[in-house]
Amino acid sequence: MQDTSRLAGVIAPVLTPFAEDGSPDGERFVEHCQWLLDEGCTALAPFGTTSEGPSLGLDERMELLEELIDAGVAPSQLMPGTGTSSLSDTIELTAHAVEVGCGGVLVLPPYFFKDPSEEGLFRYYSELIEEVGDHRLRLYLYHIPQMSAVPVTRNLVDRLRSAYPDEIAGLKDSSGNMAGTLDLMDSFPDLAIFPASEAVLLEGLKHGAAGCISATANVQPRAIRALYEAAEGPEADALQFRVAAVRAAILKAPTIPGIKALISHARSDPQWRVVRPPLVALDEAEEMRLVAALKSDCEFALRIE
Amino acid sequence: MQDTSRLAGVIAPVLTPFAEDGSPDGERFVEHCQWLLDEGCTALAPFGTTSEGPSLGLDERMELLEELIDAGVAPSQLMPGTGTSSLSDTIELTAHAVEVGCGGVLVLPPYFFKDPSEEGLFRYYSELIEEVGDHRLRLYLYHIPQMSAVPVTRNLVDRLRSAYPDEIAGLKDSSGNMAGTLDLMDSFPDLAIFPASEAVLLEGLKHGAAGCISATANVQPRAIRALYEAAEGPEADALQFRVAAVRAAILKAPTIPGIKALISHARSDPQWRVVRPPLVALDEAEEMRLVAALKSDCEFALRIE
């Protein structure tokens, strides 16, 4: 299953911590990344949706990425989000990620203009690949229509894969439509396809998924990794049931502020609550409900007391 | 009507010309801007939606803006689009526009995260204004929910205007919902409010609109200016009917590629057809239909032969 040129396994779309003044906190970012890898993540996807990636500036993304690599994280384990609504900014971020040796990049479609044609999206990704012009590029398409409002269709995947078989490495499917995800896996067995939830990891792996890239891997990386490793063993179903229950409990609150509140609570670090506008932090009652749910009902990778 | 600290009149969201290789063409950009001002635009709004602004890179926007000012266009007549999905990138573009003396900035709400709370959007614009921290900032809110998917609500406008009465200068309403636009004008008589269409210019002016910021002002600036000037005269209705008919004819084709095709045709300059992905140029049949419609049915500021 492990193709050396493809990322696989349990990938966390890493939260981005901010200082109270709203600037990214490189130190806490590196710490959290190292904790995720220690806990069993096989790779990291910084600057995705859960990372508030589209709220970060171009310079901020490049600086955080370099800090992470300087701190000793292997760039081959990194799949930063480099997609913006602008082709030129996306080229800049993608070229930078390839230059510093990232194992892949996760690229949103351009998400400002609505209802773009398939041809327009094909040209967008084509120009990106050709302008970056580096055989080391491994591009993962990012299908998250509820947020981007611009779907990455099966036909678009097919055209891109045929035109750029080396560069188009895979796809993250955050649509929540597992039937569609399974269809993509059946149709493109040579692509590394990741559902965005550990709640369907077992089902995905049976159909050839490369793993999962899940927001809640920021909270329960060890449990998801155990499930990934035990997928063909006798305990798989029980582990699957447990990680799905934890995930469901976490997602009762708004995803990003909720996960940040949990990290804040587990580490006794109020600063972890800070989100960047347009998001807002949970209020105290929401936070207490979330913490209580995770204390009473679930086993949990982070120690919530 | 002309408040010296507010922009008003006929404002074109300037098309961005690209070279065949896809890079912005500064020379044609400056030429088109100067033509628009010569033809009667009172101000220009580069890097808006019609400008393919969200498809441009941060550096590209700042460079084009500087080229325009270096070419002698008064920055006081400029209202560049500076909104991105990222607070930090938006601060960078906005601070730059204020530093070079722009009369205003047109700021999209952050458009990646969907259904943000009013509080989150209020904080976004607040942090922008406070981080830019320059009393010369004149910020025009940009309501274009069909594209941004994030509406700028009446309540948000009210909160921002109360908190930042000097900086919040006005609003462009591209919703196409004239009842809503009129309500905003009635509610906020101290704001410079611009419908996005010259087809409602007369009605808008009667209710206190500051003018209009219209895509099709790239094509018929002189006629719209004539209407603006004659708004209280006996010919107003006839002029209004005519500009509305021309606009309707233009908008039968996809807006941005259509307007670029018209400019290309009028100037015998094929390069003007180039759009940046995810947009695609009109095909030959679409272009011929559009040109024919404007030749036979309408008076036209550009000479189409």
What would the two tokens of residue A134 be? 């580096």
What would the two tokens of residue B152 be? 């700028």
The pLDDT tens digits for A135-157 are 999 999 999 999 999 999 999 99
Q: Which residue carries 């990938």 as its tokens?
A: A11
Burial of B178 from C-beta contacts in 10 A (0-12 / 13-18 / 19+): middle
φ/ψ (deg, to 5) at B300: -155, 135
Residue B110 contacts A, CB cutoff 8 Å: yes
In this prediction, residues A181-208 reach a mean pLDDT of: 97
Residue B86 contacts A, CB cutoff 8 Å: yes
pLDDT at A209: 98
- Specify the DSSP element, H or E, that contains A105: strand A105-107
* Torsion sign, CA atoms B165, B169, B172, B173: positive
Amino acid sitting at position B234: P
pLDDT at A302: 60
CA B193 – CA B205 distance, rounded (Å): 10
Across the interface, do B85 and A89 touch by the CB < 8 Å criterion?
no
- Specify the DSSP element, H or E, that contains A225: helix A221-229
Across the interface, do B87 and A55 touch by the CB < 8 Å criterion?
yes
Which among B57, B110, B117 has CB closest to A280?
B117
pTM for this structure?
0.96
Residue A54 contacts B, CB cutoff 8 Å: yes
Which ranges of chain B would DSSP assign to H, the alpha helix?
26-38, 58-70, 87-99, 118-132, 145-148, 154-163, 178-187, 201-206, 221-229, 236-250, 255-266, 284-297
CA B195 – CA B213 distance, rounded (Å): 7
Please tell me which residue of chain A has the smallest CA distance to B108: A112
Residue B57 contacts A, CB cutoff 8 Å: yes
User: Could you tell me the domains of chain B?
Assistant: 9-219 (3.20.20.70)
Which among B60, B112, B123 has CB closest to A280?
B123
What would the two tokens of residue B101 be? 């003396």
Residue B118 contacts A, CB cutoff 8 Å: no
Measuring CA to CA, which residue among A4, A27, A11, A134 is closest to residue A81?
A: A11
pLDDT at B255: 97
In this prediction, residues A183-212 reach a mean pLDDT of: 97
Please tell me which residue of chain B has the smallest CA distance to A275: B120
DSSP state of B233: S
Burial of B52 from C-beta contacts in 10 A (0-12 / 13-18 / 19+): buried
Across the interface, do A56 and B86 touch by the CB < 8 Å criterion?
yes
Across the interface, do A88 and B279 touch by the CB < 8 Å criterion?
no
Burial of A189 from C-beta contacts in 10 A (0-12 / 13-18 / 19+): exposed
Angle at the Cα of A213 from the Cα atoms of A137 and A210, rounded to 5 degrees? 70
**Residue B77, CA distances (Å) to A91, B110, B247 in order:** 32, 25, 24
Please tell me which residue of chain A has the smallest CA distance to B279: A120
Across the interface, do B148 and A112 touch by the CB < 8 Å criterion?
yes
The pLDDT of residue A49 is above 80: yes
Contact between B275 and B259 under an 8 Å Cβ cutoff? The reply is no
The pLDDT of residue A1 is above 70: no
Residue A63 contacts B, CB cutoff 8 Å: no
What would the two tokens of residue B298 be? 């309408």
Q: Confidence class of residue A305 from pLDDT cuts 50, 70 and 90? A: very low
φ/ψ (deg, to 5) at B171: -155, 135
CA B98 – CA A220 distance, rounded (Å): 46
pLDDT at B305: 45
Q: Confidence class of residue A2 from pLDDT cuts 50, 70 and 90? A: very low
**Residue B291, CA distances (Å) to B28, B242, B253 in order:** 21, 17, 10
Other C-beta atoms closer than 10 Å to the C-beta of A22 total: 16
Across the interface, do A116 and B278 touch by the CB < 8 Å criterion?
yes
pLDDT at B5: 75
What would the two tokens of residue A137 be? 């590029």
The pLDDT of residue A286 is above 90: yes
Amino acid sitting at position A184: L
Please tell me which residue of chain A has the smallest CA distance to B254: A116
The distance between the two most distant Cα atoms of chain A, rounded to a whole number of Å, is 53
Across the interface, do A277 and B57 touch by the CB < 8 Å criterion?
no
Which 212-241 residues of chain A touch chain B by CB within 8 A? none
The pLDDT of residue A45 is above 60: yes
Angle at the Cα of A217 from the Cα atoms of A212 and A219, rounded to 5 degrees? 165
Contact between B112 and A47 under an 8 Å Cβ cutoff? The reply is no
- Tens digit of each residue's pLDDT, chain B (305 residues): 344 578 999 999 999 999 999 999 999 999 999 999 999 999 999 999 999 999 999 999 999 999 999 999 999 999 999 999 999 999 999 999 999 999 999 999 999 999 999 999 999 999 999 999 999 999 999 999 999 999 999 999 999 999 999 999 999 999 999 999 999 999 999 999 999 999 999 999 999 999 999 999 999 999 999 999 999 999 999 999 999 999 999 999 999 999 999 999 989 999 999 999 999 999 999 999 999 888 765 555 565 54
The distance between the two most distant Cα atoms of chain B, rounded to a whole number of Å, is 53
Please tell me which residue of chain B has the smallest CA distance to A281: B120
* Chain B residues with CB-CB distance to A110 below 8 A: 54-55, 277-278
Residue B21 contacts A, CB cutoff 8 Å: no
CA B222 – CA A50 distance, rounded (Å): 48
pLDDT at A295: 79
Which among A110, A146, A279 has CB closest to B278?
A110
DSSP state of B6: S
The pLDDT tens digits for A92-102 are 999 999 999 99
Measuring CA to CA, which residue among A258, A291, A290, A288 is closest to residue A275?
A: A258
Please tell me which residue of chain A has the smallest CA distance to B278: A120
The pLDDT of residue A4 is above 70: no
pLDDT at B295: 79
Q: Which are the contacts of B114, defined by CB distance < 8 A and separation ≥ 6?
A: A146, A147, A149, B149, B150
In this prediction, residues A164-189 reach a mean pLDDT of: 97
Contact between A250 and A290 under an 8 Å Cβ cutoff? The reply is yes
CA B170 – CA B105 distance, rounded (Å): 10
Q: Which are the contacts of A232, defined by CB distance < 8 A and separation ≥ 6?
A: none
- Which residue(s) pair with B174 in the sheet? none
Residue B114 contacts A, CB cutoff 8 Å: yes
